[in-house]
Amino acid sequence: MHNEIVHTALRSEIRGKSSLYGQRHSYTRLKPCGVPVARDRMYQILRALDPIGVANRAFAQQRIPQTDFSVAGPNQILSVDGHHKLGLYGIEIYAEIDAYSRYLSMHLSCM
């Protein structure tokens, strides 16, 4: 009985454009509708109802392998990142890393 309720709710979610969304989206859509279901059970039912959609989403999530890159010399490519959690207190922290030497330099600024 309980599985039938979940099946019916998932079928209505899968119709139309909702089949493009994944498991987390379906789970968060079912929860407010008052369909109490364990996440693992809902995933199993979703895989049974929409195997093509699950396979398409799994294929789309495959990562492209990273390739090595070459840098001509030091200070040619710098990667910069900032940490702004202390901005309310007037403190900003910035760090940069040289892609050639992997040298890390940090800058602290106080306002």
pLDDT along the chain (111 residues), means of 10: 72 64 75 77 82 77 74 88 86 90 83 69
pLDDT of residue 6: 76
Report the chain's C-alpha Rg in angstroms. Answer: 24
Q: Which residues of 71-90 are buried (b: 16+ CB within 10 A; e: fewer)?
A: eeeeeeeeeeeeeeeeeeee
Which pLDDT value is given to residue 20?
A: 64
Model pLDDT, residue 40? 83
Report the predicted TM-score, pTM, of the whole model to 2 decimal places: 0.46
Q: Which tokens hold the place of 84? A: 């702004």
pLDDT at 96: 92
Question: What is the C-alpha to C-alpha distance for residues 14 and 10, in angstroms, rounded to an integer?
Answer: 6
Residues of the chain by 3-state class (helix, strand, coil), percent to 5: 45, 20, 35
Delimit the domains of the chain by residue range: 2-60, 78-110
In this prediction, residue 48 carries a pLDDT of: 83
